[in-house]
Chain A
Amino acid sequence: MEHAESQVTTLLVSQPNFADHHTPQGHPERADRIRAVEDALAGPDYAALKRSNAPFGDIMLAELVHDGTYLARLRDARPAEGIGQLDADTFISDGSMGVAATGLGGALAGLEAVLLGEVDNAFCAIRPPGHHAEIALPMGFCLINTIAIAAREAQRKYGAERVAIVDFDVHHGNGTQDIFKDDPSVFYASSHQMPLYPGTGSPAETGVGNIVNVALPAHSGGEAMREAYDDIILPALDNFAPDHIRDPLAQLEWVDGDFGWVTAKLMEVAHRRCGNRIVSLLEGGYDLKGLAGGVRSHVSTLLDL
């Protein structure tokens, strides 16, 4: 599995039906986000990416992390036509469950390719995001918690004992924390702006010692982020010694290079601890230019460009 640096292989998983999940006009979580990501990774610089299309994942796997009535409640909220609303932020249209299913299928395809050693790492350009979806509550644009389900599948299907999730979206992943807060086999670290939506993510929230939250003030910039990772998140991650690492993506007045920096640091731990195995899922990122730049920096680093 050990590759020379020039032979790093990165899989880009795309989602063919991403535009079938409809949100109201002007809503930040929109199909153009995925178009911006795909455009950002279309150039000759990214010719080395292996590419695949996300298959439909088994949506029932959502019950690995959500309660027994969760999927039924989502289905009931889905209108025959038009757009239904789950809360002030979160919408569901007729095609949304199919898009959530390919988002999950894409994440699981990335997971399988990495865990079977077909590629070194994978980036999944999927929507809707998932990290705000709690055990019992869809919220914050999120229908199902895709990364949490994939982490559970890594354990259930592929025998991973310890899975680490590192979340550098600007918002705290309250859902992912809610799902794993009592489970010492899954480590969850998040750096996020605070105070900001959803209001959770205080450093005092530590689960059973498996949760690490770093709250960054508004406009703190890349320097504060680097200190937080060097001093707090990376040592905790290293100490946890995961079988593989999953990282979701989005922004906090970081310049593009900051996304590359944090990616490189996570790759160092992955190299030392888990045979380089990283599966990355897109979470937020609503400014299209910022999203494209952050993704380019992140994927270039995964590709070791």
Chain B
Amino acid sequence: MADTAHDDVKTLSFEAALEQLEQIVAKLESGKAPLAESIAIYERGEALKAHCEALLKTAEARIEKITLNREGKAVGTEPLDAG
């Protein structure tokens, strides 16, 4: 149920997903959401969290080491060898 109901999450930017996630956490932590709604938004929160984590992982993979010339100017990039 949760897998298909929150498919739209996958199209969100990191910032948009994080903002929605923060709103959900605030609503859950207020303790004022009805039970069914709190369970539904919790499931959406899980989907948003997974999406944010996936985006972060992809971003990490894209981080490249900036190479500098003798004058200290950036001349290009090479893959980060985080070792």
Contact = CB atoms under 8 A, between A and B. Distances in A.
A140 B29 contact: no
B33 interface: yes
B38 interface: yes
A196 B31 contact: yes
B57 interface: no
A89 interface: yes
Interface of A: 26-29, 87-89, 132, 140-141, 171, 194-199, 218, 286-287
Instruction: Give the one of A28, A132, A218, A287 with max B CB within 10 A.
Output: A28
Contacts of A89: 34-37
B9 interface: no
A194 B36 CA distance: 16
Given A286-B39, A287-B43, 20 more contacts: A26-B1, A26-B40, A27-B36, A28-B39, A28-B40, A88-B37, A132-B35, A141-B36, A171-B35, A194-B31, A195-B29, A195-B30, A195-B31, A196-B28, A196-B31, A197-B34, A198-B31, A199-B31, A218-B25, A218-B29
A254 to B, nearest CB: 15
10 contacts: A28-B40, A89-B36, A171-B35, A195-B31, A196-B28, A198-B31, A199-B31, A199-B32, A218-B28, A287-B2
A281 to B, nearest CB: 18
B27 to A, nearest CB: 10
Interface of B: 1-2, 5, 25, 28-40, 43
A237 B23 CA distance: 38
Given A196-B28, A218-B28, A218-B29, A141 B1 contact: no
Nearest to A194: B31
A196 B1 contact: no
A199 B30 CA distance: 9
Contacts of B35: 28, 89, 132, 140-141, 171, 197-198
Nearest to A195: B31
